[in-house]
Homo-oligomer: A and B are copies of this chain.
Amino acid sequence: MATIQDVAKLAGLSRTTVSRVINEHPYVTEEKKRLVSNAMQELNYVPNSSARRLRRQQTETIAVYVPRITNPFFSHLVEVMEKEAAKKGYQLILCQTRYKKEQERNFLELLKTKQVDGLILTSIENDWSEIEPYLAYGPIVVCNEYSDSAQVPLVFLDQIEGGYIGTKHLIEQGYTKLGYCTGDHKSSRVAHDRRVGFLKALNEAGLQMKDEWYFGGAYSVQDGKRTFENLKKLSDRPQALFTGSDEVAAGIVKAASDAGWKVPEHLAVIGFDNQPLAELMELTTVEQPIETIARQAMELMIESIKSKRTPVRKEVILPLNLIQRSST
């Protein structure tokens, strides 16, 4: 593999001149430019990435943390982020935290060792106070999740509103016995806010939430099915279920259907995200503008990297949208 030294030798010039040509610096004659270009071509030379990174103190790489890439919500986020990153000449390192604090901490080392220029968190496992010190090593942008104390750009959705409009819809459809289904998110502000919105809508309607109508640990289609089995066992069952994901909602609808129940007659179900699955399964769902938040997060990330300024808190909050279908 040729180095800049080889190119200089073949061109009969110094490495400095070759570097000037490569980087399009001024004050190089056209003749010298020609000599360098010919030598580069003949030697099939490309600059070494590691050397460049060391000298320029830049990696042109961004790490994106998602819990699991198989979750369509996160794969959609990453799809748009990678596209935006590639447009600007950045690579995207995929980091799956699997909802684990330790895994998240391990990946934070990427910033500390300067393996990436910045990182985007789409879910947050550790307390912000554990993450904040890493800002000394590079910029962090939070997307989808939220933190009151984070002095960084945050692009997120009004999840209180999301929880609220979804629940209000159920109430407007005539349901008075509403169950709540979610993952086990201890540090997730998304989950917290949705529940706040859910309870707010219930309170406004003078409705009560029973403890046994709360179903946790639901992330996937399989979890949705398990949730239905648990609901089925209740003597006093909810008429409708608010869920945090189309996949979970789909699992519930499928299991209910398999058990001979009619949706929404026997059980109304509302999902989140408006994935292709939602349309296929005729799910009422709260749509999130995934493409918008992904693009904005990546733009803010690249802007933070380039500006090299002290990060400041900046909130970009977007509304949610209810899509009504047959499941409610």
Contact = CB atoms under 8 A, between A and B. Distances in A.
Interface of A: 1, 46-51, 53-54, 57, 59, 61, 63, 68-70, 72, 75-76, 78-79, 82-83, 86, 91-96, 103, 106, 109-110, 112-115, 137, 220-222, 247, 250-251, 254, 276-277, 279-281
A57 B82 CA distance: 26
A68 to B, nearest CB: 6
A272 to B, nearest CB: 16
A72 B70 contact: yes
B280 A113 contact: no
Contacts of A222: 276
Contact of A1 (B51, B86, B94, B137): B137
Contacts of A94: 78, 82, 92-94
A79 B70 CA distance: 6
Given A83-B96, A91-B110, A94-B94, 20 more contacts: A46-B109, A48-B114, A49-B114, A50-B50, A50-B57, A50-B59, A50-B114, A69-B78, A69-B79, A70-B72, A72-B72, A79-B96, A82-B94, A82-B95, A82-B96, A91-B115, A221-B276, A250-B276, A250-B280, A281-B281
Contacts of A115: 49, 91
A63 B61 CA distance: 12
A106 B137 CA distance: 29
B79 A276 contact: no
Contacts of A254: 279-280
Contact of A93 (B78, B93, B281): B93
Contacts of A68: 79
A121 B115 CA distance: 23
A113 B220 contact: no
A46 B114 CA distance: 9
Given A46-B112, A91-B93, A280 B281 contact: yes
